[in-house]
Amino acid sequence: MRKPILAGNWKMNKTRDEAIHFLLSVEPNLPKDGVEAVICAPAIILRDLVKRSEVIHVGAQNMNENVSGAYTGEISPVMLKDTKVEYVILGHSERRAYYNETDEKINLKIARALEYELKPIVCVGEVLAERENGTTNKVLKTQIEGAFKDIVISNPDNIVIAYEPVWAIGTGKSATSAQAEDACKYIRELLANLYGAEVSDKIRILYGGSVNTKNIDELMSMPNIDGGLVGGASLKEADFITLCKGCVK
Q: What amino acid positions are annotated as catalytic residues?
A: 92, 164
Give the shortest CB-212-to-ligand PGA separation in angstroms: 8
| 210 contributes a contact to ligand PGA by CB under 6 A | yes
Judged by beta carbon, residue 146 or residue 170, the one nearer ligand PGA is 170
Contact 198, 155 (CB under 8 A): no
Give 156 or 228: the residue with its C-beta nearer to ligand PGA. Answer: 228
The only residue of 170, 218, 236, 245 in contact with ligand PGA, by rule CB under 6 A: 170
**Which SS3 state, helix, strand or coil, does residue 61 take?**
coil
- The whole-angstrom separation of Cα 168 and Cα 233 is 13
DSSP 8-state code for residue 86: -
Phi/psi of residue 204, nearest 5 degrees: -80, 130
Task: Say if strands 36-40 and 204-208 run parallel, antiparallel, or are unpaired.
Answer: unpaired
Distances (CA, A) of 64 to 11, 122, 213, 236: 17, 14, 33, 29
Under rule CB under 6 A, residue 38 binds ligand PGA: no
Q: What would you measure as the largest C-alpha separation in the chain, in angstroms? A: 47
Residue nearer to ligand PGA on the CB measure, 195 or 204: 204
How many residues form the binding site for ligand PGA (CB under 6 A)? 13
Q: Which stretch binds ligand PGA (CB under 6 A): 41-49, 62-70, 112-120, 227-235?
A: 227-235
Provide CB contacts within 8 A for 109, sequence distance 6+: 63, 64, 65, 90, 91, 120
| The total number of residues written for the chain in this structure | 249
Which of 4, 5, 6, 9 forms a contact with ligand PGA (CB under 6 A)?
A: 9
Minimum CB distance to ligand PGA smaller for 85 or for 162: 162
- The region of 52-60, 176-184, 192-200, 203-211 touching ligand PGA under the rule CB under 6 A is 203-211
Report the interface residues with ligand PGA, using CB under 6 A: 9, 164, 169-170, 208-211, 229-233
